[in-house]
Structure formats: C-alpha cells, structure tokens
Amino acid sequence: MKILNNLFAQNISWAENLKKADPDFFLRLSKQQSPEYLWIGCSDSRVPANEIVDMPPGEIFVHRNIANLVIHTDLNCLSVIQYAVEVLKVKHIIVCGHYGCGGIQTAMDNKDHGLIDNWLRNIKDLHRANKTRIDSLPTEKDKINLLCELNVIDQVANICNTTVVQRAWTDGRDLAVHGWIYSIEDGILKDLKECITNLDEAAETQRTK
C-alpha cells in the first residue's frame, strides 16, 4: 500500500490535465530544458516560483533555501548558479524575497534557535549594519519588511560578486541580476529596482552601499 496516496492521485490528474492541453508536453520537456531564468527564493511554502509568475515546468531553474540567501561558502547555491549560467545559459538571475519572512524574523530576535542561527548569521550582520534605519520605523512589521528588502539587495550583490557571474560579464555575456520581493498578503511581486547587467553597474552599486 502506498502512503500519501492523495499526492499520487493528484499527480496523475495534474499530468493528465497538462497532456490534455498539450499532448507532447512531457515528451518535449524530456528532451531538454532551456530556461531563461534562475530563481533564487525562500523555501517558504507560500512562495512557489513557477506559480507566482504563472509559468509551466521547463521555464525556470529554481534554488530555494531559508531566507533566499546566497552565501559565498555555500557550494549548493554556487553550483546551481554555475550550472544555470554556464550550462543552461540563463539570461536572468532573480533573487526573490518575501515580506514577513520567518527566516528574517528569526534572525532579528536574540533567542537561541539552534543550528539555523548559523545559517542566518549574514542576516544578523545585515541587521546590525542597518540598525539605526530599521529601528527608526514605527512597527515590528515595518522593521521586518525593511530587512526583508535589504536582504534581497544584499543577495543581489553577493550574486554579482561570484566568480561565475563576474566571468560571464567579462566574456560579454547577456546576463542580468534582479532583486524582487513578494507579498504573501496579496500575491503581488515588487521589483526593488536592483537590476545589475554588467561589471560597471555591479561596481557602482558596491560603491553606493
């Protein structure tokens, strides 16, 4: 007897519905993937990459972790970026955070959360570096949401500083890094206007931070 029978049943009906609309869909996808986008988002179950931008399988290469972090010693994330840029030749890397992120909230309090506190270390540093600005906001929600935005901007910079992305730009490749944030409350994406498309722009944003 299978466990989680409901998930297998839902899978069959999902695949059948897709085939009804496009009989060759899976056959075509099985031959290759050529996504134009790499999405780096939060693991939060309410922020699913494909659904938010209404795209079918095959269109977005996805990496998700708690609080959508790009850490320079994280071989998992760096390998995803390398594969996406060098093999799949994506044209856009999108960091998508979300308001009310539990990872950000956890990083902001001073309690002991065990192992995850190590993962959230960079956000704690970012919080400290922007403490005056964050503390000037009236509500806890505003403070969390500002740090959610600052975290996205910080991860955009981290991506721009990877050897993979720097090399792609040196080689004249067409590659843009974007910072977006999503609202779970209304399902709407916001562009944080943090679009970096070459080495000069990357250097410029580093100078102004």
Residues with active-site annotation: 42, 44, 46, 98, 101
Span from 34-42, 55-63, 123-131, 196-204 in contact with Co ion (CB under 5 A):
34-42
Number of residues interacting with Co ion: please give it, by CB under 5 A.
4
120 binds Co ion (CB under 5 A): no
Shortest distance, CB of residue 46 to Co ion, whole angstroms? 9
Binders of Co ion among residues 139 to 178 (CB under 5 A) are none
Residue placing its CB nearer to Co ion in the complex, 101 or 175: 101
Residue 49 binding Co ion, by CB under 5 A = no
Contact 69, 44 (CB under 8 A): no
HEC per residue, 86-140:
HHCCCCEEEEEEECCCHHHHHHHCCCCCCCHHHHCHHHHHHHHHCHHHHHCCCCH
Residue 150 has which token pair? 């600052």
For the beta carbon of residue 26, count every other beta carbon within 10 angstroms.
Answer: 13
Asked if 44 is part of the footprint of Co ion (rule: CB under 5 A), the reply reads yes
Q: Which value, in Å, is the radius of gyration of the alpha carbons in the chain?
A: 19
Query: Per CB under 5 A, does 101 bind Co ion?
Result: yes
Site residues for Co ion per CB under 5 A: 42, 44, 101, 103
